[in-house]
Amino acid sequence: MAGRETPNRQIDARQIETKLIHAGEASPRYAGAISMPIFQSSTFEYSGESDYHDVRYIRLNNTPNHVVLHAKLAALENAEGAVVASSGMAAISTALLSLLASGDHLIVQDTLYGGTHDLVSQDLPALGIGVTFVDGRDPSSWATQIRPTTRAIYVEALSNPLLQLPDLEAVVGFAREHAIVSMIDNTFTSPMNFRPAELGFDLSLHSATKYLNGHTDIVAGAVIGRTDLVDQVRRKLNHLGGTLDPHAAFLLHRGLKTLAVRVRHQNVSALRLAEFLDRHPAVTRVNYPGLPGHPQHALASRLFDGFGGMISFELEGGLAAVERCFDRLTLPASAPSLGGVESLVTRPSTTSHAGMERRLRESLGISDTLVRLSVGLEATEDLIQDFEQALTS
Ligand code: PLP
């Protein structure tokens, strides 16, 4: 049995490429196995644990497959601790419920992944938790929203699907000033491009389904950050039951090892595609933080190590033009989700943001014709040629 999970308080000074391969790995290796085996056992022999949360059991997120992931993920973001969950939504909902109870209040960015938006606008109020939406780019508008019951502020590093960048430094400053918890969904940026703990964020959340795993074959989530808060989340997760299955943990572990090479390629490829789309006469608007015309380009350049693999754009000619383009594309499949090796296109209004009321969706800038592109690992030239033929009638 691996040793007890100890908080990763010591910052691992090795480069992220090295940490992806070596951080958190069992030492000595199990039976000498270079690749971490899957511990497909729901329960483990009792060895004197006195705390319920330490009893070795898959739902309690403490099998060897969990332990190695927790240490590796914490090391990747230079954070104190981490816990994995059965999906990104399990990570997000459990983290929020570990901090908020009836009567409490949350400040949250208005443009968010649709599932998170539905959770905070529908489920939290049903539990008696107050929620106020703010423009993440306008810190001057937040102060009037703070209440004695406010416990946390929640943003996305790059918002889904508009690629807006909140004023991240102001979020951390605001949380400290008001003694509330700062939470950030770091899915789109991944630890390759941004490590929230370095800026002072308390909790970083991931849909590990996306870049962290990278192969479009599991759903998983992660919460990374301050050990006291991660421990609170882990205990809540043990009660709510959103644990990660060991086989999915194995696949996430395997996928993580190539994060650096995948995201570096995607950073370069997406920038070239965004530049190509930006120049194309059939395209009316491109949202990509790497383009000098993006309103927060300077902030993204300063805070991020890369601009990521996600682009959204609008086409001349409305829905008919979008449908024609999707029909003609031969490389990107039309499918929800993102961050994998295959390029994917989707219309968020019919997938990730289908649950949002149309008027609200449109007021936020998520039109029926907005296209979201997740750039995969295909050759950039092939993707550009594919878009060229799909956009040219
Ligand atoms: N956060 C973001 C930014 C997402 O895009 C998604 C899913 O698309 C989620 C969270 C939810 O993740 P999951 O589908 O793994 O529950």
CB proximity list for 27: less than 8 A, separation 6 or greater: none
Q: In this structure, which residue's CA is closest to atom 13 in ligand 1? A: 88
Q: Which two tokens stand for residue 201?
A: 């964020």
Please, which pLDDT band fits residue 10 given cuts at 50, 70 and 90? low
pLDDT higher than 90, residue 269: yes
Chain segment 141-166, per-residue pLDDT in tens: 999 999 999 999 999 999 999 999 99
Q: Which two tokens stand for residue 153?
A: 């502020």
pLDDT higher than 70, residue 6: no
Q: Verify whether residue 185 is a known catalytic residue.
A: yes
Beta strands in 135-282 (DSSP E): 150-156, 181-185, 203-207, 221-225
Q: What is the pTM of this model?
A: 0.96
Q: Verify whether residue 210 is a known catalytic residue.
A: yes
Ligand 1 atom at minimum distance from 221 CA: 15
The C-alpha atoms of residue 196 and residue 208 are separated, in whole angstroms, by 16
pLDDT higher than 80, residue 3: no
pLDDT of residue 357: 85
Lowest mean pLDDT across 6-20, 326-340, 351-365: 6-20
User: Is there an atom of ligand 1 within 6 Å of 142 CB?
Assistant: no
CATH node for 2-256 = 3.40.640.10
Which helix (H) or strand (E) segment holds residue 295: the answer is none
User: Is there an atom of ligand 1 within 6 Å of 209 CB?
Assistant: yes
- For strands 150-156 and 105-109, give the pairing: parallel
Q: In this structure, which residue's CA is closest to atom 14 in ligand 1? A: 88
- For strands 150-156 and 221-225, give the pairing: unpaired
pLDDT of residue 242: 97
User: Is there an atom of ligand 1 within 6 Å of 88 CB?
Assistant: yes
Q: Verify whether residue 19 is a known catalytic residue.
A: no
Q: How far from 183 is each of 143, 154, 223, 241, 252, CA to CA, in Å?
A: 17, 5, 10, 22, 23
Please check whether the two domains, 2-256 and 259-391, share a CATH topology. no
Domain ranges of the chain: 2-256, 259-391
Which residue is catalytic, options 12, 104, 167, 185? 185
Which residue is catalytic, options 56, 72, 210, 347? 210
pLDDT higher than 70, residue 5: no
Q: Verify whether residue 278 is a known catalytic residue.
A: no
- Provide the 3-class DSSP secondary structure of residue 133: strand
Chain segment 273-299, per-residue pLDDT in tens: 999 999 999 999 999 999 999 999 999
259-391 homologous superfamily: Aspartate Aminotransferase, domain 1 (3.90.1150.10)
pLDDT higher than 90, residue 8: no
